[in-house]
Amino acid sequence: MARPRPASICAGPKTSCCFTATMAMTPFRQVLAADVTLAEWEARRRREHALTVVVRRNLPRALAPRVHVIDARSGELELAADAGAVAAMLRQRSADLLAALRRQGWEFTGIRVRVQVRADAAPTPKAAVNQPDRSSLQSMAALARRLPRGPLKSALERFLRRSG
């Protein structure tokens, strides 16, 4: 079996800091599995992610994306909510949520809810303004000329004035 050639790594063309890398690239998953502490963290992350999915499935659609599991290591499930109102709704639903989790095989004695406001929330995109094209404006102007006096004609004329 051919051995991989060492790669040369340099800090830059103007420096003399170059060395040969003899280590092959190791997949990140193997690095996580090799270290005991990192493997425990990864196992905890996977468990909490799976539990977050289950919790969100048992919540109303508007509430679900604003809740995630913080800690599920002890007998008490700790959830984080994005706002105080979301936390209040979670507290009201905690008994139903515990029962639903028990039915799905997750055993907890209680639920603790914390408010954890996130500053990295992406702003909602602005709605694109749908501007009418010239031919639409011309046909609306022709319609406004044919209409009898009344609220529809005045509203259409006002719209045409504002849209240019």
Please give the pLDDT value at position 148: 94
Question: What share of residues in the chain are helix, strand, coil (percent, to 5)?
Answer: 45, 15, 40
Please give the pLDDT value at position 157: 93
Residue 8 has pLDDT above 70, yes or no: no
How crowded is the C-beta side of 72, counted as CA atoms within 13 Å? 21
Is CATH 3.30.300.180 the classification given to domain 30-115? yes
Please give the pLDDT value at position 14: 58
Domain boundaries, the chain: 30-115, 134-163
Residue 139 has pLDDT above 80, yes or no: yes
Mean pLDDT, the chain, whole residue set: 82
